[in-house]
Structure 1
């Protein structure tokens, strides 16, 4: 690499660092992925919004959701965000998502979000909405078999 190329690279890196330190881009991590950038652009254009998953007594999880997202996509975002949080803490905990979604569902405004295909904008979820986990109740006479330990 020539001297001129190295100078150009250093100048470009300086401009990128300066952009990342600006007030408008404070939501970004130090090395944002393409998906994170797309999501933040959608928020600025009004096509997405920030919501919170309340997990009492555990810390809440902030999520950024597109208006066209389904409940299933939100579940996937929750999984990715939790894995990211665990990775940042230096831990690797195996979570059985099959068990979680069989035992719990998401709840918004005292309404259980049981339809995975439901679109967020049609459910009334908007900017700064709060979702919670809710225990799934069994239908009368439709209990699951007990788990066998191996």
Structure 2
């Protein structure tokens, strides 16, 4: 009997949490976020508002642009991880392919900014001159 009470309490808490989250994303600052928002996405949006983060627009060859949020002093590797998370969240919401081989993707594609490859994962984005709302291209590597 105690187990059933715990489950009911958990369900009630979950329902309250989702209701509060729905109210939260109606805030003008957060209204662009999807209904199934994650705590990470809310944190990123707040960090953007306070100037602690920036949006890097990653452009694919097909013309799609993905807005990826990273901290102000992010490295190339942190941008790659944020891009991976962005794609995974989008796929989960759309019910698309659930698994991509990111090892294969980074062997086959690279990121460029103003014609320069972002080759050093440890280098900061700002060292390449990347600022808030700048566009980075996602380009297929040429075979040697």
Q: Which runs of 5+ in 2 are unaligned?
A: 6-12
Partner of 2:99: 94
Q: How does 1:54-69 map to 2 (within 5 A)?
A: 54-57=59-62, 59-69=64-74
Q: What is the distance in 1 between the residues matched to 2:126 and 2:136?
A: 14
The SS at the match of 2:64 is: strand
The aligned residue for residue 148 of structure 1 is: none
Please tell me whether residue 75 in structure 1 is matched to residue 80 in structure 2.
yes
Retained in 2: the 8 A contact 1:54–1:130?
A: yes
Contact 2:92 2:98 in 1 (8 A): no
Partner of 1:22: 27
Inter-CA distance 11–116: structure 2 relative to 1 (3 Å threshold): closer
Q: State how far apart, in whole Å, the 2-side matches of 1:91 and 1:78 are.
A: 16
> Does residue 111 in structure 1 map to residue 116 in structure 2?
yes
Cα deviation, 1:48-94, whole Å, max 9, x if unaligned, reads 11121111215221111111211111111111211222222212253
Question: What is the CA–CA distance in structure 1 between the aligned matches of 2:20 and 2:89, rounded to whole Å?
Answer: 28
TM-score calculated relative to the size of structure 2: 0.75
Question: Per-residue deviation at 1:16?
Answer: 5.6
Confirm whether residue 50 of structure 1 aligns to residue 31 of structure 2. Answer: no
Structure 1 residue 122 corresponds to structure 2 residue 123: no
SS at structure 2 position matched to 1:38: helix
Number of the residue aligned with 1:134 = 139
Instruction: Report whether the alignment pairs 1:41 with 2:41.
Output: no
Deviations 1:91-133 (A, max 9, x none): 2253222122112210011111000001122221112111112
Matched length: 132
Q: Which runs of 5+ in 1 are unaligned?
A: 2-8, 144-150
Higher-Rg structure is 1
